Amino acid sequence: MGDKGKKDKGRREEQKRAKQTPKEKRQQKRDKNKTIWENEK
């Protein structure tokens, strides 16, 4: 149990890196919606 803090820190760093700019988020959302519509046709 002693290394839980270390593991936690690594996970937090990953989340920080995964953060996107609002512009990237919007782009991703649009792409996702596009694929959804294409799949429903």
Question: What are the extents of the domains in the chain?
Answer: 7-40
Question: Is the pLDDT assigned to residue 2 strictly greater than 60?
Answer: no
**3-state class of 26 per DSSP?**
helix
Q: Calculate mean pLDDT across residues 15-26.
A: 75
Question: Is the pLDDT assigned to residue 18 strictly greater than 60?
Answer: yes
pLDDT band, very low/low/confident/very high, at 24 (cuts 50, 70, 90): confident
Compute the distance between CA of residue 26 and CA of residue 17 in angstroms, rounded to an integer: 18
Instruction: Report the predicted TM-score, pTM, of the whole model to 2 decimal places.
Output: 0.38
Percent of the chain surpassing pLDDT 70: 44
Please name the amino acid found at residue 4: K
Compute the distance between CA of residue 36 and CA of residue 29 in angstroms, rounded to an integer: 11
